[in-house]
A and B are shown apart, each in its own frame.
Chain A
Amino acid sequence: MADGTAHAGTDAFVEFERVQKSYDGETLVVKDLNLAMPKGEFLTMLGPSGSGKTTCLMMLAGFETATHGEIRLDGAPINNIPPHKRGIGMVFQNYALFPHMSVAENLAFPLEVRQLGKSDREAKIKRALDMVQMGDFGGRRPAQLSGGQQQRVALARALVFEPELVLMDEPLGALDKQLRESLQFEITNLAHELGITTVYVTHDQTEALTMSDRVAVFDDGRIQQLAPPDELYESPQNSFVAQFIGENNTLEGVVQELKDGIAIVRLDDGGLIDAVPVNVAEVGERTLVSIRPERVEHKRERLSPDAHTLKAEVLEFIYMGDQFRTRLRVAGRDDFIVKSRNAQGQDRLRPGETVEIGWLPEDARALDA
């Protein structure tokens, strides 16, 4: 995680340095957080609930104080600046629009605080509303809008005073799938167009992968991995990340041999497989080998002649239209999934059949057990 570590004196826009947070003085919700974001980046904090991601966002917004460590914005520490003086935009999970004000009044609020003149205000409000395609809704009350429209207004309100940093706390959590997808697209486009730095919190990994420049996967109060989406999916650094991002098959075993950047792993039932050693260092170590379901091959001729293969019994075949999903019993586990594209000539495996499966060594990653 060297690329995410903060170094004093770098030109990072947002920095967390050795930040810790404890609510009760005993257990740490956030443990030793280090993070540096360049200007204009769209970074997503992804993690299960209770992993500390929302706490980090709240510390950045100023609603929670860091127990230890320093948070810097544009080089200056902000630990002792109250939330209303930080000038950070924020979109809340439940929108948090003021129900007693019209849409335009909601947007005017941050501008009035900043004592902008009336004509200036109106111009900015109009521009912000047009940006989220809500130009005709200025006179409505939030209660007269649908969830998606409210979230658009909330977004406009967070952007109207032109903050350089915008925080989003699961902003799409309450919306239905279709709306969520179109808004994901809109939000990323806006953020990149305006060049704002965005910290986005979500527990939805699809959202994280599709929207972000980089994703920080949180668990247990720490960043487990900070990487661009493709790297995160294809090269998880530990078994938590492998399990958490996307679908994943795991096989347990012991490292038997390490050579030429390949680890030969002896599975618990005796089978042998090839894998890339990621965080196993020596022979004899226990390991969890992770393989993505779409990288598993069951046609012998497509594998290299010296690849290790495993015997698998087909348990279930699910037809999903664009792809097939086959559940296998492999090495004593009956939750091994293989996904194959519904292409011309693709095999449809039948339950009860026994096949031989294998993969390219670089698609299997030997991770910590």
Chain B
Amino acid sequence: MALAPYATTGQRIWYYGFRVICGLIFFFLIAPILVIIPLSFNAQDFFTFTPKMLALDPEGYSLKHYRDFFTSNDWQQAMWNSLKIAPAATLISVSLGTLAAIGLSQSHVPFRGAIMAILISPMIVPLIISAAGMYFFYSRIGLQGTYFGVVLAHAALGIPFVIITVTATLIGFDRSLTRAAANLGAGPVRTFFKVQMPLILPGVVSGGLFAFITSFDEVVVVLFVGSAGQTTLPWQMFTGLREQISPTILAVATLLVGISILLLAMLEVLRRRSERLRGLSPS
């Protein structure tokens, strides 16, 4: 929006002031992340920029921390653990969350508000409280310290994201489509997979991505519920920071930033696709 020719002095000040504020917000959000990236290529085992790096001398940079990450047993084990836990947790979150969202969008379901609030609560309750609660509960039923326990815990954390995104997509879903499908002879299961699912898929997938990232980034709950066998990447980074301050963490962090950007880009593509489908559909 360009500045109008009749703008008053106050409006002019606000016009530029607003841009400065926005710039500052972006700076504080992004700078800490950006600074990690060059540091991860540090040739030394330091967390700071060396004089050589500042001089842009190629000798000041190296991939050794990345090599560390890909060769160290601990890190590789952690990565595999994360890659085993996150997809399983995502799968559970997506299936249960989508079903819950569809159920809760039916007007005849009683206590919808209360059920929704309970299902969303893992997102609102402080993580440490959920973690402590899960620890005691899972210990009692023998899930504490197991792979399945961690997966379940992460699924519980991911479900709210799926419910929220799918519910949002369902608001724009035209109910007469399911009626049309039934009228044309399709049973409920076929209607769900052939008509409803393809149309709410963007919501399901973006919910799934959030659930995946939640599990992939999660450190508090896994510390409580997991055992040494379930050391995930964030857990390894956490211990790495505490015990052996190595820039390998920075290399891992850079990789994670890359993955996050990739996932966010996917989300955006999906969002545009769904808008195209819905924006032009008659509803």
Question: Residues of A with Cβ closer than 8 Å to B?
Answer: 61-63, 82-90, 92-100, 109-110, 113-114, 141-144, 147, 150, 157-158, 161, 174
Contact = CB atoms under 8 A, between A and B. Distances in A.
Contacts of A174: 282
8 contacts: A83-B183, A84-B182, A84-B184, A89-B183, A100-B199, A113-B190, A147-B282, A158-B183
Given A96-B179, A100-B198, 16 more contacts: A61-B179, A61-B183, A84-B191, A85-B185, A86-B183, A87-B185, A92-B179, A92-B180, A93-B176, A94-B282, A110-B184, A113-B190, A114-B185, A141-B280, A142-B281, A143-B277
A109 B194 contact: yes
B180 A143 contact: no
A219 B137 CA distance: 61
B277 A88 contact: no
Interface residues of B, number: 25
Contacts of A85: 185
Report whether over half of chain A's contact residues are helix, strand or loop; otherwise say mixed.
loop
A143 B174 contact: no
B115 interface: no
B177 interface: yes
Interface of B: 174, 176-177, 179-188, 190-191, 194-195, 198-199, 277-278, 280-283
A313 B230 CA distance: 96
Given A84-B186, A109-B184, A161-B185, A95 B199 contact: no
B180 A83 contact: no
Nearest to A89: B183
A109 B181 contact: yes
Contacts, number: 81
B182 A96 contact: no
B184 A150 contact: no
B175 to A, nearest CB: 9
Given A95-B282, A98-B177, A113-B190, A161 B198 contact: no
Contacts of B177: 96, 98
Given A113-B190, A161-B185, A96 B278 contact: no
Contact of B186 (A90, A109, A147, A150): A109
Contact of B199 (A88, A99, A150): A99
B170 to A, nearest CB: 15
Nearest to B281: A99
Contacts of B180: 90, 92, 96-98
What 9 pairs across the A-B complex have the smallest Cβ distances?
Answer: A143-B280, A99-B281, A110-B184, A96-B180, A113-B185, A96-B176, A83-B182, A84-B182, A90-B183
Contacts of B194: 109
B9 to A, nearest CB: 48
B185 A99 contact: no
Nearest to A87: B185
Point out which of A85, A94, A141, A174 has the most chain B C-beta atoms below 10 A from its C-beta: A94
A61 B188 CA distance: 15
A96 B191 CA distance: 13
Contacts of A86: 183
A39 B181 CA distance: 25
B283 A88 contact: no
Contacts of B277: 99-100, 143
Contacts of B283: 94
Nearest to A105: B194
Contacts of A62: 182
A93 B177 CA distance: 11
A115 to B, nearest CB: 10
A93 B180 CA distance: 11
